[in-house]
């Protein structure tokens, strides 16, 4: 086998054999398959697709590129701790993991959350948590086990020994326009999640303008693909299809989203973030056999916040430290003569603008800016006065504001003269309920 031959076969629409896929992934991990060649193969996969067998083979080969975690035998007070994880396919303002992991831990499960960094226009959980002074993403396996038994939750980077093929391919996809592919997304997510060894897995598959897959049919196909991969590996796997037409909550950006997640843990926060957090918590608890516990109670009684503080401290962070703040803020306002109700807020445009402002990466190796991002003042269904504030752009690089504003051109829809409805999100153009469906 040779890289050019494998690339050409997929380019021409042929089905790759298991041996070809294993060889390509192994050779790339070992450095015998150059970045430019893997980029070409990834693009061929995006354009030609993969069969279910090819996708399963790719996931298996990626998972086999490193070791797997062993979470068996976790105990607290003499009882076995069920392990359950959650993964989101990526959204704008999606800070759900930050509150969800400690919330589910407060309900009695252990949550081993291996997370990633910003990809394309979507934020990364690790980038968000690194806005907390002192917090570290690297947690060795022995320390991870101890933290799960003591605190019940850990959010960290996959160790260097876990799925190294995905780490390299993930970074390459981010900069080569090869993110939006069902086989590549499914294999990437499931290779990591199956390697971490949890008993059960809940998938949050986004659908809408801010998702990698904007249409419902493609999102359901992705959900079904991943659920089948999980079931074949013996892991209880379910998926929720959730809306990503508008950003979640009012904060997009690393430190901004941490602050909003802390509001949720304190019993407040935007209703849509609370709604999705509790919906996913219930799904995770059911998968872990703990469905008698009501997660909403844990948000009110302070136990979820306690787990959050312990989780952050266990990874070197200071939960009381002030979060970074951007040096420059620019406000986007409605036209002076236009008053009405916001009918839409394009999540993709907001994500692209936040990336430009420094919340994500424009080139490989870029550092993210902790304080950069976008604050949303008027969400779909809410009124806006003539000339009223719509968005605040936070950045340390004011020279990027013009480009961010350009990315946001046309992103906010306003119905002049309309009045806000009682239900807001449902009445005025944000696409209905947050949870659109379930796959099991």
For the annotated catalytic residues, the residue numbers are: 87, 166, 173, 188, 192
- Tell me if 437 sits within 8 A of 240, measured CB to CB: yes
- Tell me if 414 sits within 8 A of 332, measured CB to CB: no
As a whole number of angstroms, the distance between CA 62 and CA 232 comes to 16
Q: Which of 201, 197, 380 is nearest to 280 (CA)?
A: 201
> Residue 136 is encoded by which pair of tokens?
């570290």
As a whole number of angstroms, the distance between CA 28 and CA 153 comes to 33
> Residue 269 is encoded by which pair of tokens?
């926060």
As a whole number of angstroms, the distance between CA 239 and CA 37 comes to 33
As a whole number of angstroms, the distance between CA 89 and CA 87 comes to 7
Which residues make Cβ contacts (< 8 Å) with residue 95, sequence separation at least 6?
123, 128, 248, 249, 251, 257, 258, 260, 261, 273
Backbone angles phi, psi at 413, to 5 degrees: -100, 135
CB atoms within 10 A of CB 129: 25
As a whole number of angstroms, the distance between CA 237 and CA 226 comes to 8
Judged on CB neighbours under 10 Å (0-12, 13-18, 19+), 78 is exposed
């Amino acid at each position: 086998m040779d890289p050019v031959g494998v690339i050409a076969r997929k380019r021409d629409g042929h089905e790759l054999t298991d041996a070809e896929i294993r060889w390509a992934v192994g050779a790339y991990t070992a450095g015998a398959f150059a970045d430019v060649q893997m980029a070409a193969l990834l693009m061929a996969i995006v354009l030609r697709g993969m069969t279910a067998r090819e996708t399963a083979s790719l996931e298996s080969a990626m998972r086999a590129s490193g070791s797997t975690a062993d979470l068996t035998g976790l105990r607290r007070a003499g009882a076995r701790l069920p392990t359950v994880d959650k993964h989101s396919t990526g959204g704008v303002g999606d800070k759900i993991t930050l509150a969800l992991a400690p919330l589910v831990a407060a309900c009695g499960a252990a949550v081993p959350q291996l997370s990633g960094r910003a990809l394309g226009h979507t934020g990364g959980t690790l980038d968000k948590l690194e806005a907390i002074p002192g917090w570290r993403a690297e947690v060795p396996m022995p320390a991870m086990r101890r933290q799960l038994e003591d605190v019940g939750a850990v959010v960290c980077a996959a160790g260097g020994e876990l799925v190294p093929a995905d780490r390299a391919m993930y970074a390459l996809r981010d900069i080569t326009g090869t993110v939006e592919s069902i086989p590549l997304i499914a294999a990437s997510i499931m290779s990591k999640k199956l390697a971490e060894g949890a008993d059960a897995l809940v998938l949050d598959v986004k659908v809408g303008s801010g998702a990698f897959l904007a249409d419902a049919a493609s999102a359901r196909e992705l959900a079904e693909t991943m659920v089948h991969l999980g079931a074949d590996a013996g892991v209880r796997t379910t998926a929720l299809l959730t809306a990503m037409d508008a950003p979640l909550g009012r904060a997009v950006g690393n430190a901004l989203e941490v602050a909003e997640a802390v509001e949720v843990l304190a019993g407040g926060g935007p209703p849509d973030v609370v709604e999705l957090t509790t919906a996913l918590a219930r799904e995770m608890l059911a998968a872990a056999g703990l469905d008698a516990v009501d997660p909403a109670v844990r948000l009110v009684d302070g136990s979820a916040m306690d787990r959050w503080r312990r989780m952050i401290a266990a990874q070197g962070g200071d939960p009381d430290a002030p979060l970074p703040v951007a040096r420059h803020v620019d406000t986007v306002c409605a036209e002076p003569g236009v008053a009405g109700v916001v009918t839409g807020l394009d999540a993709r445009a907001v994500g692209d603008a936040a990336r430009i402002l420094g919340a994500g990466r424009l080139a490989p190796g870029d550092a993210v800016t902790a304080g950069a991002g976008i604050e949303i003042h008027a969400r779909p269904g809410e009124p806006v006065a003539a000339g009223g504030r719509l968005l605040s752009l936070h950045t340390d690089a004011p020279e990027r504001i013009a480009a961010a504003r350009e990315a946001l051109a046309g992103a906010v829809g306003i119905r002049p003269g309309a009045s806000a409805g009682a239900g807001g999100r449902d009445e005025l153009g944000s696409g209905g309920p947050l949870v659109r469906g379930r796959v099991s």
